Structure 1
């Protein structure tokens, strides 16, 4: 993964090619799983119209059918523009930062330890988060909007709503309403470290094992399949380990719909989830999440490697 940093390209050209590869991978993966992502958000936030679909794989399919019936096919991609606005730069910056940070932390094979792999992934996840997080909040607000209306939710109506919540809340958020675009940000940072760190830890570890155990000919003939499998395992492992934090974060992001005058805190969010569904409430939508994460990370990591190969980095 570090071979592309040789003298063939200037530093600027390498960065441009790396950004293009990462952005392509992030956009492709998110577009492929956008309908499942919306269902997952609706289940995580205990949406009144969708709570009956929680608890089974069949429920996820029924939820998708319900969205099409009530909101049309476009409803499956409600908020997807914001998803791409966040996912493309997040992946572009993240993958580029990972290449650089991993090269700095692990310049030679003997430096490739689990701690360094985890650290490189964690830094990658945290780098773009402050800049892309508002897009995620807007997209979540659009995704949880299910009321039947002649006006389809748009990014601008979501932005105006969030800004209005900030102005009406009083205190520091009343003076700086843009802070409402960071509902759940602290939890997101806490979750990003083990989530992104875990993904790259598993990804790098399993790829190293594949290189050690398989012949070069086998690797060349099956590289894409191997990457798809390893990407699936990496995403699944990280998703299960950090899912409760994701539920807390999504609930905080959606909370403005019910508590527009203030931002609910971590403890209050945990209590509300517990009251709604007990310990199972922290895993609501996990089945859909896993069903989504397997192709997401398989497609993202694999297409990243393919794009890097095409761009010769």
Structure 2
């Protein structure tokens, strides 16, 4: 938690600085791990062209090599513009909301309980998600486009947007009148998963940092602060990823489902049956290896750079 020296900035200036720190952290982390993220999405959605790479750590490396061979280096960052369009505002809003909510729920150290830490993280995730979810869906659609599934031209965000809107108009019912609802395929599962995921990340982050402050001397903390944040961020992201991974697989499958069922949105139970019938219980953990390989640097970089950016901005 922050010290109690009192506010040094106006409320507006604090929010702007907090948003800048969060947006920088989110964009940096996503850029570093973008190639791994694309491979993870291809495996999660059980892309036929990439399933031969599933099941081993070495498979991720081969998948990255295959993308470069068939789609060029740019293929590693296919859809990355949409990733940044989502990640930067998502992190800016998320980290800013967390700063405010955590101070409200935990104004002093006596209030720093596991329940309150989990609640602060959950509120953070639920607040940012509705604003940025359409970008996430478009990014997934671009990421699942491969050599055999795409046209001769490189897929673009505008093509993906037009395709999703066309799915909504052709589906009938309420989405026929409001086709933009198709940009929220899998949103319910995402909302369900963000509570334990984001809540768990900040719970572990705050708990381990509090333990470090209790067990280490101020001199040791000062000398190793970034290293400690990197380790704690990696642990926080890894534990939350393992706990919520099946929900992420279901969400990705629903997001990508428009390629196979453009005229309707497949439900939660249908998605679960589809994954189970295709791969059994292991299907809910397809890509977990690369997911963990990705989450370690993602959250380590994001949380650490967030702290460094806050320090640089004086908040």
For Structure 1 versus Structure 2, the TM-score category normalised by the shorter chain is over 0.9
Give the corresponding residue for 2:230. 228
Mapping 1:140-159, distance limit 5 Å: 140-146=140-146, 147=149, 149-159=151-161
Give the corresponding residue for 2:98. 98
Alpha-carbon distance in 2 for matches of 1:127, 1:166: 25
Give the corresponding residue for 1:257. 259
| Cα pair 1:2 1:99 within 8 Å, conserved | no
Does structure 1 residue 88 correspond to structure 2 residue 98?
no
SS in 2 for 1:152: coil
CA, structure 1 residues 5+63, in 2 after alignment: closer, same or farther (shift >3 Å)?
farther
Return the TM-score normalized by structure 2: 0.98
Q: Deviations over 1:139-166 (max 9, x none)?
A: 0000001135331000000000000000
SS in 2 for 1:3: coil
Does structure 1 residue 60 correspond to structure 2 residue 56?
no
Alpha-carbon distance in 2 for matches of 1:119, 1:31: 28
| Cα pair 1:28 1:300 within 8 Å, conserved | yes
Give the corresponding residue for 1:70. 70
Give the corresponding residue for 1:297. 299
Mapping 1:185-196, distance limit 5 Å: 185-196=187-198
- Residue 6 of structure 1 and its aligned partner are, at CA, apart by 2.6
SS in 2 for 1:197: helix
| Cα pair 1:4 1:312 within 8 Å, conserved | no
Mapping 1:18-57, distance limit 5 Å: 18-57=18-57
Q: Deviations over 1:173-211 (max 9, x none)?
A: 111100000000000000000000000000000000000
Q: Which ranges of 4 or more aligned residues in structure 1 deviate by more than 2 Å?
A: 1-7, 147-150
Does structure 1 residue 243 correspond to structure 2 residue 273?
no
How many residues were matched structurally? 313
| Cα pair 1:29 1:296 within 8 Å, conserved | yes
**What residue ranges of structure 1 are gaps of 5+ in the alignment?**
none
Q: CA RMSD in A?
A: 0.9
Alpha-carbon distance in 2 for matches of 1:291, 1:4: 38
| Cα pair 1:5 1:14 within 8 Å, conserved | no
Return the TM-score normalized by structure 1: 0.99
Give the corresponding residue for 1:212. 214
SS in 2 for 1:186: helix
**What residue ranges of structure 2 are gaps of 5+ in the alignment?**
none
